[in-house]
Amino acid sequence: MSTPEHLFDELVDCWTRGKPLAVDELLVRAGPRADELATLIDRFLERAPRREPTPAALAYVRSLDEPSLLRARQERKLKLDDLVAGLLEKLGLPPAAREKVRRYYQDLELGQLDPGGVATSVWDALTGLLGRDARGLGALPPFASAAPAMYRESDFESDLVSASLAIPSPSVDEPALEPDEVDRLFGVMSSD
């Protein structure tokens, strides 16, 4: 464990060289004196001269302002079930596919489904339903997929246990289901 002053010097050195500031790492290294280091960092950043943002940082911030699929659907006052019905119709899918399309669309809308695997026909159908370029709305911010998940340590283990209990074990007698048309349209390789 280093002193807050030593760690602060490391931070200022990184800032001077234009390197990323690993504030979280420095605070961990400060241990019980992390609050002291946090105060030093706050004061420094309040007084430090502002720098021009990088093009990547600007693109990320701008992407946060762009409407998402969820906001675009809400702006059109479309209920989820109405949008799903429209997708079924435009994609020529049977009514039996409703629940799977609903689930995959919700995952896409919430950023939990990779938009890169979604078929062009789905994007075209969504563009027609939402009245704007759906592919652009579904794109994740450039750094969203690289950000690590943050968990409180005590919750992480219980979440893992809960998740493992919720996953049904495949039966030896049950053959694995092949991907169907809905899976292919949404870029999901295996069926549920």
For the stretch 96-113, pLDDT in tens is 999 999 999 999 988 888
User: Among 166, 23, 185, which residue's Cα sits nearest to residue 94?
Assistant: 185
User: pTM surpassing 0.75?
Assistant: no
CA distance 115 to 123: 9
Measured from the Cβ of residue 70, the count of other Cβ atoms closer than 10 Å reads 15
Q: How do the domains of the chain map onto residue ranges? A: 4-51, 67-141
Question: In Å, how far from its chain's centre is CA 179?
Answer: 24
Q: Are 72 and 137 in contact (CB under 8 A)?
A: yes
The Cα–Cα gap between 109 and 131 comes to 16
Burial code (b: 16+ CB inside 10 Å, e: under 16) for 10-24 equals ebeeebeeeeeeeee
Side-chain half-sphere CA neighbours of 68 within 13 A = 14
Distance CA 59, CA 156 (A): 32
pLDDT at position 65 is: 62
pLDDT digits (tens, 9 = 90+) for 21-52: 889 999 999 999 999 999 999 999 899 888 78
Number of other residues whose CB lies within 10 A of the CB of residue 122: 25
Write down the pLDDT at residue 162: 44
Residue 129 tokens read as: 């339903």
pLDDT of residue 138: 73
Q: Can you say whether the dihedral through the CA atoms of 126, 131, 133, 137 is positive or negative?
A: negative
